[in-house]
Structure 1
Amino acid sequence: MSLRSPVLRRVLLSSFLLSLSRAVISPLLVLTLGKQLQLSLQATGTLLAAVLLVSALLGLYGGYWLDRLPRGPALGAAAVLMAIGSLLLPYGHSFWLVTAALAAGELAMVVYGIAVKAILSDLAAEEQRSKAFSMRYTLANVAWALGPMLCSGLLSWRELAPFWLGGLLALAGWLAQPRLPDAGRDPSAMPEGFAATLRTLGGDRVLVWFTVSSLCANVVYGRFSSYLPLYLLTRMGESEAMRWMSVLISCNAIVVVVLQYPLGRLLKPKRLLRAIIGGFLLIGAGMLWLGWADSLPMMCAAIALFTLGEIVLVPAEYLYIDAIAPEALKGSYYGAQNLATLGSALGPALVGVLLAHGPSMLVFAAMALLCLVGVGLAVYSERLRLQRRQAVGARGASVLPGSLS
């Protein structure tokens, strides 16, 4: 199916609206949780981290069901659940109600993201998938750039307005969803039960090591806007650090929005490993440059290099999972790869420890080293995949169409 297809366009529009829904309320989560539950900042951070951890783990179970149930109704249920979570969150005062509303929104977003990737894999023609994944990632970044601005504007009108808009956007995303054609998955090709699916996923060493490689990447780029201020605060005052961060985040957003789709559409399915290695190396080089940069323009240039690596790496990772996943287990494989997002929570914690026990350059050296580890694991995964392909080919079959290197 072409990317110009109305079905794919509506899937991408729905994904954009759901991302925007979450982005609008995201800046208020910490403040709202602290206010509603009278929690300290540390307790609020712990609660958020716990919800994100549980959501990522449950996403694995969600991917399992996405392979077994029609994906259209699952998309609709996730959108409605996100709307309910957004609308209930500011009105709850009991710990369990607020936590349930927060968890509903986060889990719905995780499941929705897994479902959209599986649907794009189902519907987009093979030569169109790099464009489809790049367009989805571009739209998500546009949403996360617009969300905080909308939130700020609405707060000047009503304190709860961002939550109302978040709920309405989630419902709009539900209404934008198209009627999906039957993917025609073969039930006999699926493992019997969730435990058997976990054994299948855990037994796929290519998937396991590639997911660990993706986790290394997420440590570095997943929450850079959370840990970079910690470094800047060691060099300058709080107000100046926030001014620099505003410029650096804007630079990151501009590069993503302008270059993500033009570069992502150039990805070739049979040359993914080169793109993954190149993405890791660009991110690592950007990290080292950030450590040496002594002015805001130089840091902007380093962030631009870092962002180039990110916009090459992310869609290439999606396409790699698409290539190694059996047709009947796309949802489960994307659910497993989603566990790599747990690395995002490790970044700020790692930077805090390194800044407390060593020079600031150690932070960027460690991040660059993680990129090299990610490269090594990705190369190892590809070697395992080729060995598996040769072994299967020796028995007269082939599980993949060709080299990804």
Structure 2
Amino acid sequence: MLATLRSYPTTVNLLLSASLILTLARAITLPYLVIYLSGNFHLSIADIGLVIGSTLIIGSLLSLYGGFLVDRMSNYRLILACTGVFIVAFLGTFATRDLWLFYLCLVAINLAYAVIDIAVKSGFGSLLPVAGRSEVFSIKYTLTNIGYAVGPFLGAGVARLDISLPFLLSAGLGAGFFLIYFMWGDRGLTGVGTNRQPAPFMAVGRLLLRDRRLVCFTLGGLLSAVVFGQFSAYLSQYLVVTTTPETTYRVISAIVATNALTVISLQYLIGRRITQAHLKLWLAAGLAMFVLGLTGFALATSLVFWVIAMVVFTVGEIIVFPAEYMFIDHIAPSHLRGMYYGAQNLNNLGAALGPVLCGAVLATQPADYIFYMLMLFIVAGGGLYFLGASLPGNIEVEERD
């Protein structure tokens, strides 16, 4: 991977650094939001879940317009502007004592992060040939997971001094990236759509809805994200109901670490081999791994069994993520690439729904029923993936420069 990074132009490496640094900044504070909201604002568990889930949903929905801006604005200016919002919002979470302002800051953080992510992926499409994009998507996902793996440990160290300091550290990391990108970022990097006659946002949205492949893959991704988007949350819910708090903490700590280590170890090795020519086979393999992993969770009776099931589950994640990126990149017209990736970000709605749906099942049905429900989501999502991959393209949407 290091040899590949050295072969990339500076602009590509700077875009990859955005994924690493800003994910690290976000991951530093995410594990402590529950504790912070409970201790500083005296919210109940239900209210905390509503705050965290709704800010993620709002940020995801608004990022669709962010994708529209990616196609219309200078990539360089948009990344700097969103990084500025990211920094100010984290400073706001550190300074404010009002819940409503804290809530708005969380929305701004999620939105800025999502738009930068879209701009980064769109930038890859502008800078690299089609054959090289699978590899860079895999590297990006590996770096993202490194950020999520390392961030909580940095946050834990800083939080021992003061529970508010992780927010300040996140703002500092954002400021560091801002300076790096301001100095060395490619000022000429723009979306292809900037050279076209601009179309209204709603007109572009209607155009995207006519691309049945995009609709199928977006819905398939949303359903699949119910399963892999917030797996630690619903597995914690399941373990709390079926075991003791001590066992829950021990198992969740082990499987989260297993997930991160498996992704970091295998993502690049597997992801670079995923090709457009065999996309359906790769998707089938990834979805099968999800089902096997869920079966393992349902049958797990020991920590070793949980870890093995998580390795299998994570291999599915390793395959499906870059396969989604590749399909969207393949069908997206160059002048609408930002909007297409913005539509893909709606997967986060599924991630937010996962713990809610599993909580409802756990409250009304036998605990292992959540795994049957999650398998049904995988089957439904997989059906939509295969339908989208089989459909012919729309002439109006496929027009390219």
TM-score normalized by the length of structure 1: 0.92
Paired amino acid for 1:365:
Y
Equivalence map 1:383-398=2 (5 Å): 383-385=390-392, 388=393
Of 363, 372, 384 in structure 2, the residue corresponding to residue 377 of structure 1 is 384
- Distance apart, 1:381 and its partner CA: 0.8
Inter-partner Cα distance in structure 2 for 1:134 and 1:9: 13
Paired amino acid for 2:270:
L
- Distance apart, 1:183 and its partner CA: 4.3
Equivalent residue number for residue 72 of structure 1:
76
Of 258, 261, 265 in structure 2, the residue corresponding to residue 258 of structure 1 is 265
Inter-partner Cα distance in structure 2 for 1:398 and 1:171: 39
Equivalence map 1:110-259=2 (5 Å): 110-177=114-181, 178-183=185-190, 185-186=192-193, 192-259=199-266
- Mapped contact 2:20–2:143 kept (Cα < 8 A): yes
Equivalent residue number for residue 87 of structure 2:
83
1:314 aligns with 2:321: yes
Equivalent residue number for residue 19 of structure 1:
23
- Mapped contact 1:14–1:174 kept (Cα < 8 A): no
Of 97, 102, 111 in structure 2, the residue corresponding to residue 98 of structure 1 is 102
Q: Aligned pairs, how many?
A: 393
Unpaired stretches in structure 1, ≥5 consecutive residues: 401-405
1:57 aligns with 2:64: no
Inter-partner Cα distance in structure 2 for 1:210 and 1:189: 27
- Mapped contact 2:57–2:348 kept (Cα < 8 A): no
Paired amino acid for 1:254:
L
Equivalent residue number for residue 299 of structure 1:
306
- Mapped contact 1:190–1:328 kept (Cα < 8 A): no
Inter-partner Cα distance in structure 2 for 1:165 and 1:26: 13
Deviations 1:112-150 (A, max 9, x none): 111111111211221111111011111111101111111
Per the alignment, do residues 318 and 254 of structure 1 end up closer, same or farther by CA in structure 2, a change over 3 Å counting?
same
1:33 aligns with 2:37: yes
SS in 2 for 1:267: coil
1:348 aligns with 2:352: no
- Mapped contact 1:24–1:151 kept (Cα < 8 A): yes
Paired amino acid for 1:99:
Y
Inter-partner Cα distance in structure 2 for 1:287 and 1:37: 36
% identical aligned pairs: 34
Between stretches 126-135 and 269-278, larger displacement belongs to 269-278
Paired amino acid for 2:365:
G
Deviations 1:233-292 (A, max 9, x none): 233210111111111111111110100111111111222222222211111111112111
Between stretches 300-309 and 352-361, larger displacement belongs to 352-361
1:338 aligns with 2:337: no
Inter-partner Cα distance in structure 1 for 2:36 and 2:357: 26
Inter-partner Cα distance in structure 1 for 2:242 and 2:46: 24
Inter-partner Cα distance in structure 1 for 2:398 and 2:175: 43
Inter-partner Cα distance in structure 2 for 1:332 and 1:184: 11
Paired amino acid for 1:120:
F
Inter-partner Cα distance in structure 2 for 1:190 and 1:216: 35
Alignment root-mean-square deviation, CA: 2.2
Equivalent residue number for residue 403 of structure 1:
none
Equivalent residue number for residue 283 of structure 1:
290
Inter-partner Cα distance in structure 2 for 1:5 and 1:131: 14
Per the alignment, do residues 121 and 29 of structure 1 end up closer, same or farther by CA in structure 2, a change over 3 Å counting?
same
- Mapped contact 2:134–2:275 kept (Cα < 8 A): yes
- Distance apart, 1:36 and its partner CA: 4.0
- Mapped contact 2:193–2:336 kept (Cα < 8 A): no
Inter-partner Cα distance in structure 1 for 2:217 and 2:298: 28
Per the alignment, do residues 73 and 361 of structure 1 end up closer, same or farther by CA in structure 2, a change over 3 Å counting?
same
1:4 aligns with 2:8: yes
Deviations 1:74-114 (A, max 9, x none): 11111111111111202212233222222221111111111
- Distance apart, 1:160 and its partner CA: 2.7
Inter-partner Cα distance in structure 2 for 1:181 and 1:271: 35
- Distance apart, 1:399 and its partner CA: 6.2
Inter-partner Cα distance in structure 1 for 2:177 and 2:318: 25
- Mapped contact 2:71–2:193 kept (Cα < 8 A): no
- Distance apart, 1:163 and its partner CA: 1.5
Inter-partner Cα distance in structure 2 for 1:247 and 1:241: 10
- Mapped contact 1:288–1:364 kept (Cα < 8 A): yes
Inter-partner Cα distance in structure 2 for 1:236 and 1:159: 29
Inter-partner Cα distance in structure 2 for 1:222 and 1:186: 31
